[in-house]
A and B are shown apart, each in its own frame.
Chain A
């Protein structure tokens, strides 16, 4: 018999060092921080002077020239500027080096207690273990608990539901007037899918979007929740999910949803509450931000590449390779981080035990050593599936096939309905070196 969980507010909190407010971020002294100014700066700035984890480079989408220079001049490079904020980090920017790190689980750890899988460490007083931030063997058994929901046979069962929802969302879009594609399509579709996977009340699905957003939000940005507020919201989320868990844990058989699967699987049914919360955050962010931003990115790239848009109109059979190309070109998660478990050598540099190593997938996906003409968006590439956006090795994205299916169906249904969708202005972007995405993109479908 599996056990019910205590409500969120009785959680044992892990003790950690008191975290003082971070010192202010050092930024280059520039007349302004527009995309043009930042890109020009990154073309020639001394490499050691740049802290590319600064959200300003991502909000403006200005980071490209810096990563090209790192790939060419310093493919394994240590950033010390602002080390009083992030301890310093190694940037790995070439495809082959990223592959080497991603597949060496013995040396490069994902463990939450060492900081986890993002450049900025998890809050030491609020560690949320989750299987992406675990090493073997525990990672494997927990991942396998959720794997069946995105297996080939299960996806086939989801297909008609995804299609009818997509049709409903697209048929409800206005004609001849401006609207926000992110809100009306990208968030709408991904939140409905996520609510289905969790069997979470559909009417509350935007809560999932909110929790996903605050989980990855930079707490220092203007208007962001404080650390304490954020933790409070996450504990509230835990409480809501604990009710769902308790309602399902004693069913004689697990149902097909993720909560039920976690509550019934021997590998996960006795998880401490913070580990349940961690895995929820993983599944919500993993199933939400990524597909959402590829949905927006796809339309943006086609609008910027009218020749490719025309290729698609002429041959809808290109949707499948295009979906992979969208995911490569977007790279919805810009990086994953590892922590060295021992001293090692990478690209001729000595990496010390405890060092942070950042695999910049956005850079690997633009590495001309591995991908021909990587800066171009080409929907009929010869080998479109060879991209890094899902990561490699045991932490490779578990939901990759679901993401591809959602995007494929979306574009099939779009092409049946709309000859063109006009992007009216540059999208606003998420200020984050982790979630590479869009906040808003105004579009119009001609009447």
Chain B
């Protein structure tokens, strides 16, 4: 179980609990957090769960795979801390993680 805070582009925070092993894209959808679509269902194949990992947490969330990088490359507003939320899974290590949302998903 991890407490995850998703911050909408307009600044509204949503703190929810995501069960161990569940992706942070699923965590958002299951808890009705707006701003994440997850069109492909979690295959790093659509880039509609684009998030920015808070700089303090980048080391703990790991690095993007080649496929994830390729998809992020096609998203709007890609930054060094861009990730697809479906490729990060909740764990005790990520308890307290903060994710920022882009203006829109592409």
The A contact surface, by secondary structure, is: loop
Choice from A102, A151, A394 contacting B76 with Cβ under 8 Å: A151
Chain B neighbourhood of A140, CB < 8 A: 70, 73-74
**Interface assignment of B19: CB less than 8 Å from any CB of chain A:** no
Q: Are B48 and A385 in contact (CB under 8 A)?
A: yes
- Closest residue of chain B to A155 (Cβ to Cβ) is B104
Contacts of B41 in A (CB 8 A): 370, 386
Q: Given A151-B76, A393-B45, A401-B106, are A385 and B70 neighbors across the interface (CB < 8 Å)?
A: no
Q: Are B38 and A392 in contact (CB under 8 A)?
A: no
Does B40 sit at the interface, judged by CB under 8 A? yes
Q: Is the CB of A394 within 8 A of B38?
A: no
Residues of A within 8 A of B38 (CB): 383, 385-386
B106 and chain A: residue at smallest CB distance: A401
Give the residues in chain B near A150, CB-CB below 8 Å: 106
A99 close to B74 (CB less than 8 A)? no
* A153 on the B face (CB < 8 A): yes
Contact of A152 with B103 in the complex, beta carbons under 8 Å: yes
Q: B43 contacts which of A103, A152, A390 (Cβ < 8 Å)?
A: A103
Interface residues of B in 45-104 (CB under 8 A from A): 45-48, 67, 70-71, 73-74, 76, 102-104
Q: Does B39 contact A (CB under 8 A)?
A: yes
Question: Interface residues of B toward A: which range?
Answer: 20 to 34
- Whether A385 contacts B37 in the complex (CB less than 8 A), given A136-B70, A140-B74, A401-B106, comes out as yes
Query: Are A102 and B104 CB-contacts (below 8 A) given A136-B70, A385-B39?
Result: no
Q: What bracket does the count of chain A residues touching chain B fall in? A: 20 to 34
Contact A392 to B40, CB < 8 A, known contacts A102-B45, A152-B104, A401-B106? yes
A-B contact count (CB 8 A): 65
B74 / chain A contacts, CB cutoff of 8 Å: 140, 143-144, 147, 394, 396, 398
A5→B104 CA distance, assembly (Å): 36
* B20-42 with Cβ < 8 A to chain A: 29, 37-41
A392 to B73, CA, bound (A): 14
Query: Across the interface, which residues of B come within 8 angstroms of A385, CB to CB?
Result: 37-39, 48
B76 adjacent to A396 (CB under 8 Å): no
Choose among B45, B67, B73, B76 the residue that contacts A152 (Cβ–Cβ < 8 A).
Answer: B76
Contacts of B105 in A (CB 8 A): 152
User: Which single residue of chain B is at the shortest CB-CB distance from A383?
Assistant: B29
Give complex CA distance A152, B106 in Å: 7
Contacts of A103 in B (CB 8 A): 43-45, 67
Contacts A140-B70, A394-B74 given: A386-B45 contact, CB under 8 Å? no
* Bound CA–CA A152/B29 (angstroms): 21
**A400 to B47 CA separation, bound complex (whole angstroms):** 12
Bound form: Cα–Cα A144–B103 in Å: 18
Q: In the complex, A99 Cα to B44 Cα: how many Å? A: 11
Contacts of A153 in B (CB 8 A): 76, 103-104
- Kindly state the separation between the CA atoms of A150 and B76 in the bound complex, as whole angstroms: 10
Could you list some 7 contacts between A and B, CB below 8 A?
Answer: A383-B29, A383-B38, A385-B48, A392-B43, A392-B45, A396-B45, A396-B47
Please give the residue numbers on chain B whose beta carbons come within 8 Å of chain A beta carbons, in ascending order. 29, 37-41, 43-48, 67, 70-71, 73-74, 76, 102-106
Residue numbers of A with Cβ under 8 A of B are 99, 102-103, 105, 136, 140, 143-144, 147, 150-153, 155, 370, 383, 385-387, 390, 392-394, 396, 398, 400-401
